[in-house]
Amino acid sequence: MVVDHFSLDLGQHWCLFGGNGSGKTLLAELLCGKRVDSGSYVSYADGFDPGKDIHIVSFEEQQRLWQRDNRLDISEYADNAQDQGTLVEQLIRASRSTNKQDEALLSSLAVELALEEFLHKGIRFLSSGQIRRVLIARALYARRDDVPQLIVFDDPLESIDRFSCQKMEDCIQRYLGESNCSLQLCRREQDILPSATHLALIQRSEKKIFLSQQGPIQSLRESDDFADFRHLPPVGPDTLPGIATPDTSEQLGDEALIRLENVSANYGSQAVLKNINWIMKSGDHVLIEGPNGCGKSTLLSLIDGENHKAYGQGVSLFGKLRGSGETVWEIKSRFGVVSNELHNKYVKGWRVLDVVVSGFFDSVGLYDDSGGSEHHLAQQWLKTLGIENIHENYYHEISFGQQRLVLLARAMVKSPSILILDEPCVGLDDYHRSLILSTLELIAEQTKTQLIYVSHVEDEKPGCITQKLEFVAGESGGFMLIQTELSNEQANKLSNEMPTD
């Protein structure tokens, strides 16, 4: 890494801007004292302790907290078989390095970030968007009168539904001022926080990472240097590698691939889904929308074999009622998955190629014997997504966006009947989002794989969508589902609305 000079002063709120793999996370880790590079020197103001006075909002931090809570889970030893783990309120309060608590600030943040009903709930039971709001509350709560705080925001509004984004931007802007400083890691121009006062452009050239420009944000955003960061969308592949026709031994005819009849799901006394009805037929490509915590991930887990609550209910997959003698692995073999939950499961120790090959076996990591044909097809998928040069890298060492592309390759190597994409573009810059969407279009066009696509971002969806599911709050608790079949005109409209830059 080559950075001649970079400093964050009190009252400054920097945006570190660059694409996937440009080195934003590396520089942030260096500044936070989480890594040491030979020849690098980082100094802090008197009294500033990076271990106490730097607060991070990122998906990696979510992963760390989830994994820690899961390691400490004692549900199997509890009388009621439940362990709430770390409560939201506990996590927020623990951010203060002193015992002095600010009840008014905590109450205000809970209201502004819509966390009131979650304060006494365990973080392991929150959706990705909900826990992101908790991390923001924790960072903003951690104020000290004697020492300024640094907040590192790594795309803080990722996984946040569009109904909440504006409120969260306003909240962040109110709490960032002259008494603290912040650093935002950002991949897309439209995601730059309005509170940003300075901008730094980070690039990677061969094996070097460097800051090409830095300064006050207004002048730099109007410069030619910033304009060079606006990449044209990539030219997607013309064909896909090794596509095999999904198993058609069971001829379903007009039978639904997925049929849900009056399906409900509760967690304890809390209703999540209420009397859900849904039919997905052959040829459907489905878009699922709804606010954070409405039950989108729960719905997906009911159909892909991850959630035991599907048994004893009206859940039919590929013409068979769940619990009719099929194994979980038989169900999993029909689905490819890209999701935050799967992303969380891959920890240190696996090389990129092993992660992709594990998709043949529906395992987290590679434990089965794999042959040359599996490795060859895995490498072809990595090449299709433009990341064949990292196949020997360790998965946990590549950028978050690159990890997301690896998970798509993992999902597609076995040519699944249904590809579940739960926010697949999280963590991707504009270039790679366009690559993902164009590849999904090709999958819908050239294969018999059908898509279930979840997104919080307006107009960020493949144009092949034929059916829309929208979650709405029920009058007596939980969420209901509204199913809309899209006409050709509506489907074409979605396709025309796809982002192009």
Band of residue 35 on the pLDDT scale cut at 50, 70, 90: confident
Quick one: which H or E segment has residue 150?
A: strand 150-154
Nearest to 365 by CA among 404, 396, 334, 333: 396
Say yes or no: 223 and 369 in one domain: no
- Nearest residue to 189 (alpha-carbon basis) of 168, 217, 159: 217
Average pLDDT over residues 215-229: 85
Tell me how far apart the alpha carbons of residues 173 and 427 are, in angstroms, rounded to a whole number.
22
In a domain? residue 380: yes
Residue 215 carries which side chain, given as an amino acid letter?
Answer: G
Position 417 pLDDT exceeds 90: yes
Whole-number average pLDDT of the chain: 84
Provide DSSP, 325-336. Answer: S--HHHHHTTEE
State the average pLDDT over residues 486-492. 56
Largest CA distance in the chain: 72
Q: Give the residue from 410, 432, 450 where a domain finishes.
A: 410
34 in a domain, yes or no?
A: yes
pTM for this model (two decimals)? 0.83
- Token pair of 476 as six digits: 């007596």
For 248-282, write each residue's pLDDT tens digit.
445 555 678 999 999 988 876 677 888 889 999 99
Boundary (domain end) residue, out of 198, 227, 256: 227
Strand 320-321: give its sheet, edge to edge: 320-321, 314-317, 258-267, 270-280, 479-485, 467-473, 286-289, 450-454, 418-422, 335-338
- Residue 414 in contact with residue 395, Cβ under 8 Å? no
Residue 144 lies inside a defined structural domain of this protein:
yes
Number of domains in the chain: 2
Other Cβ atoms less than 10 A from the Cβ of 38: the count is 4
Tokens of 173: 């802007």
Q: What is the mean pLDDT of residues 34-44?
A: 76
Q: How confident is the model at residue 494 (pLDDT cuts 50, 70, 90)?
A: very low
Q: Alpha carbon 138 to chain centroid distance?
A: 20
In a domain, 342, yes or no: no
Of 211, 227, 243, which closes a domain? 227
Query: Range of 397's domain?
Result: 351-410
The closest alpha carbon to 361, from 408, 329, 392, belongs to 329
- Cβ contacts of residue 436 below 8 Å, gap of 6+? 404, 405, 408, 424, 425, 428
**Per-residue pLDDT at 498 exceeds 50:** no
Quick check: is 67 in a domain?
A: yes
Would you state the pLDDT for residue 244? 55
pLDDT tens figures, 305-315: 888 888 889 99
Tokens of 455: 């997104």
Q: Confirm if 434 and 425 have CB atoms less than 8 A apart.
A: no
* Separation between Cα atoms, residue 228 and residue 210, nearest integer Å: 15
In a shared domain, residues 218 and 356: no
Residue 211 belongs to domain with CATH number: 3.40.50.300
Question: E strands within 161-224?
Answer: 181-186, 198-205, 208-216
**Distances in whole angstroms, Cα of residue 50 to Cα of each of 150, 219, 258, 383:** 9, 31, 51, 40
β-bridge partners, 182 = 13, 151
Tens of pLDDT, residue by residue over 130-181, are: 999 999 999 999 877 677 889 999 989 887 887 788 899 999 999 998 888 9
Q: Tell me the average pLDDT across 5-27.
A: 90
Whether the CB-CB separation of 404 and 337 falls below 8 Å is answered with no
Task: Tell me the mean pLDDT in the region 475-485.
Answer: 81
**Do 163 and 291 meet the contact criterion of CB atoms below 8 Å apart?**
yes
